[in-house]
Chain A
Amino acid sequence: GNSVTQMEGPVTLSEEAFLTINCTYTATGYPSLFWYVQYPGEGLQLLLKATKADDKGSNKGFEATYRKETTSFHLEKGSVQVSDSAVYFCALPSGTYKYIFGTGTRLKVLA
């Protein structure tokens, strides 16, 4: 079945630093890829997605490009803020109804 491997955290950055969180996947075909974010005390919410190879998803200054050559979907942001402190999950569907999530990467941004 499909699987996802996500870089372990925690990641601690200073405000305005550049962020990269690595995600690689194994999949049959070319499924849509997702990044979800979980703020403290909240459920997960969709951050961005890409539906086909070479697509770039973007939202709130975050970007991720669907790269089939390297089977990767790395999350990037040019300048992080304290409010970006959260746990980030890479995800993809496995079959018709089920989603596989990575183990999550905790980001802490210091003022």
Chain B
Amino acid sequence: DAGVTQSPTHLIKTRGQQVTLRCSPKSGHDTVSWYQQALGQGPQFIFQYYEEEERQRGNFPDRFSGHQFPNYSSELNVNALLLGDSALYLCASSLTGTRNTGELFFGEGSRLTVL
């Protein structure tokens, strides 16, 4: 049973560049959420995707955008990178509706460093 997989695991970008992070949810899961975890902090909700639509967004600027594909995998895009975007980006998958146990299943994250 494949868990949540994310790529790349590490990447370095410079200010102003754009980045795309990818996530494959746990087998059977239909919902993907993205979280930003700054060093020494807890994860902060960016947004959630279900049925290829953004269902809810956290307090993040429009530079952060996403996409969900028909196979439930997802991408997180960040444009015009700032130094403050350096963080661990976590993808979490879950189920929706009556199958939802409330548990989030996290990948190991993509660590982004912006120089």
* Chain B contacts with A in 1-44, Cβ cutoff 8 A: 4, 33, 35, 40-44
CB-nearest residue of chain A to B44: A101
- From residue B111, how far is it (CB to closest CB) to chain A in Å? 10
Taking a contact as CB atoms under 8 Å apart, the answer to whether A98 and B56 are in contact is: yes
* Chain A contacts with B in 1-57, Cβ cutoff 8 A: 6, 32, 34, 36, 41-46, 49, 51
Taking a contact as CB atoms under 8 Å apart, the answer to whether B90 and A44 are in contact is: yes
Taking a contact as CB atoms under 8 Å apart, the answer to whether A45 and B102 are in contact is: no
Answer yes or no: B104 CB below 8 A from chain A CBs: yes
Q: Report how many A-B pairs have Cβ atoms within 8 Å.
A: 58
Taking a contact as CB atoms under 8 Å apart, the answer to whether B102 and A93 are in contact is: yes
Taking a contact as CB atoms under 8 Å apart, the answer to whether B104 and A97 are in contact is: no
- From residue B106, how far is it (CB to closest CB) to chain A in Å? 4
Interface residues on A, range: 20 to 34
Taking a contact as CB atoms under 8 Å apart, the answer to whether B108 and A42 are in contact is: yes
Taking a contact as CB atoms under 8 Å apart, the answer to whether B56 and A102 are in contact is: no
* Option from B42, B48, B55, B103 in Cβ contact (under 8 Å) with A89: B42
Interface residues on B, range: 20 to 34
- From residue A44, how far is it (CB to closest CB) to chain B in Å? 4
Taking a contact as CB atoms under 8 Å apart, the answer to whether A101 and B102 are in contact is: no
Contacts A95-B56, A97-B48, A98-B56 given: A46-B42 contact, CB under 8 Å?
A: no
* Chain B contacts with A in 89-115, Cβ cutoff 8 A: 90, 92, 102-109
- From residue A87, how far is it (CB to closest CB) to chain B in Å? 9
Answer yes or no: B45 CB below 8 A from chain A CBs: yes
Answer yes or no: A96 CB below 8 A from chain B CBs: yes
Interface centre among B35, B41, B43, B90 (most CB of A within 10 A): B43
* Option from A36, A46, A98, A102 in Cβ contact (under 8 Å) with B45: A98
- From residue B55, how far is it (CB to closest CB) to chain A in Å? 6
A-side interface residues toward B, CB under 8 Å? Answer: 6, 32, 34, 36, 41-46, 49, 51, 89, 91, 93, 95-104
